Structure 1
Amino acid sequence: MELSAFNRQADETSRTVELFKHVAETEPEAAHLLYNLAEPYLIQNECYSVCAPFLETSQRLAMAADIYRFESELEDAERDSFSPIPKLARFQYVSEAATLVALLVRNDRLADAKAACDIALETIDDARFRKALDKAMKGKFPASRPE
């Protein structure tokens, strides 16, 4: 974590990518633990195939849905408070699901990408989310910040 933060500040994200590639080759179990930290850098450096072994569709979407529901409840509870927390639960879920779908597409796993879309739509199903998933099915990644 410290190394990736340092490399990000020094604009040397490729070093984080190279370190992750080395860990993935030499210590696969450790790479599974580090993957979530490395994924944004792998995407930024277009190393999509390195992501392939770590794209666990059902598990990732189930965790994202649980987090979405939990954060949505917090946002609803804070709605009437003096300083409400920003609405980020939806953005984070859409980003997580669309990123996964785009990575699956970039790794030529179209059937898995379609299945991921179907699973994701069980949590949120509206026109905006479908549009994000349609873009992801073309291999396009979501915006990194809320619009």
Structure 2
Amino acid sequence: MKSCLFALLCLIPLPAFTEDWQPPEDPDPQAILNSIRNDVQAKEYETALAKHVWFYENALKYQPGLSGVRLSFALSYWKNLSEVYPPALKKLKETRDEASRHVLDGKNIWQSFQDLAALNRTLDEDTRTKDTFLLLHQQQPPMAKKVFLLAEPALLKAREYQVCGQYLEPEKSYRMMIQSRQVNQRLAKNPRIGPRILEFSDKKFTNDTTILVALLVVNDRAEEARTIADQARQEWKNAEFHKALDSALTGEVPTSWPY
């Protein structure tokens, strides 16, 4: 019933998106994002959408620390709005298309591709991320190399293992994994966040290392895969982790986590 109602709404001519709402002189991006819930409850959908667009375009100018929120929670709230207000979906897709154009034009390539991947994830259209990367792979390999890690979850989802193999740098990647793990372990000493960050760190290290090992195997680089696996076993002596490495050494590529 909900999907039928949405389909009927989509047949009704939509009002043009306007930006009547304006932020205060000294805006607090987090407060503006939080206020959207009240707008939705009051059915002030146009105001809610204007705030979403403003937050996406301007939040980092005021609070750079909101980069993660901007591409996760904020986009999921925007998608939720689109379920009751079709213009929000239209604007979300237009924003994604603009990010895609920026990628292909080479405009701030890392940030643009990061935005593109997050928007496509929100829209459940990861194939578009994969297709955009493959276009870079064919036409602009240096750019593709710069954004490979951002594209990797979508490539894995599409089982583009051989394409991934062309961008693997196992020693460099493994060093980055270790550095990230060490940072998380230091953060875990804070009793307020310790258990949460440790759980995240263990899952992420397991996922990253097993993906790397498995991709090396399926790309006929078994010796390099064994070297990384041996180093990882020494880094973390955990039976479940070692079992996951054994599976990766057979060429079983895990799904990317947390995406």
TM-score tier (shorter): 0.7 to 0.9
TM-superposed deviation, 1:126: 2.5
Select the structure of larger CA radius of gyration: 2
Please list every run of 5 or more consecutive structure 1 residues that lacks an aligned counterpart in the other structure: none
Aligned to 2:154: 41
Aligned to 1:132: 244
What is the alpha-carbon distance in structure 2 between the residues aligned to residue 145 and residue 113 of structure 1?
A: 20
* 2:171 equivalent to 1:58: yes
TM-superposed deviation, 1:99: 0.8
What is the alpha-carbon distance in structure 2 between the residues aligned to residue 3 and residue 90 of structure 1?
A: 28
Please list every run of 5 or more consecutive structure 2 residues that lacks an aligned counterpart in the other structure: 1-113
Cα distance change on mapping 1:52 and 1:131 into 2, 3 Å: same
Contact 2:156–2:256 under 8 Å retained in 1: no
* 1:14-45 Cα distance to aligned partner (Å, 9 max, x none): 11111101111222221111001100100000
What is the alpha-carbon distance in structure 2 between the residues aligned to residue 135 and residue 65 of structure 1?
A: 21
Greater RCO between the two (CA within 8 Å, min separation 6)? 1
Count how many residue pairs are aligned between Structure 1 and Structure 2.
143
* 2:117 equivalent to 1:4: yes
The root-mean-square deviation of aligned C-alpha atoms, in Å, is 1.9
Residues 86-105 of structure 1: matches in 2 within 5 Å?
86=196, 87=198, 88-105=200-217
Q: Which amino acid aligns with 2:125?
A: E
Q: Which amino acid aligns with 1:136?
A: A
Aligned to 2:131: 18
My pick for the range that moved more, 66-75 or 3-12, is 3-12
Q: Which amino acid aligns with 2:235?
A: T
Q: Which amino acid aligns with 2:217?
A: V
Of the candidates 192, 204, 226, which is equivalent to residue 114 of structure 1? 226
What is the alpha-carbon distance in structure 2 between the residues aligned to residue 94 and residue 69 of structure 1?
A: 14
Q: TM-score, normalised by structure 2?
A: 0.51
Q: TM-score, normalised by structure 1?
A: 0.87
TM-superposed deviation, 1:85: 5.7
What is the alpha-carbon distance in structure 2 between the residues aligned to residue 23 and residue 16 of structure 1?
A: 11
TM-superposed deviation, 1:108: 2.2
What is the alpha-carbon distance in structure 2 between the residues aligned to residue 111 and residue 85 of structure 1?
A: 35
What is the alpha-carbon distance in structure 1 between the residues aligned to residue 175 and residue 145 of structure 2?
A: 17
What is the alpha-carbon distance in structure 2 between the residues aligned to residue 56 and residue 122 of structure 1?
A: 20
Contact 1:78–1:85 under 8 Å retained in 2: no
SS of the counterpart of 1:78? coil
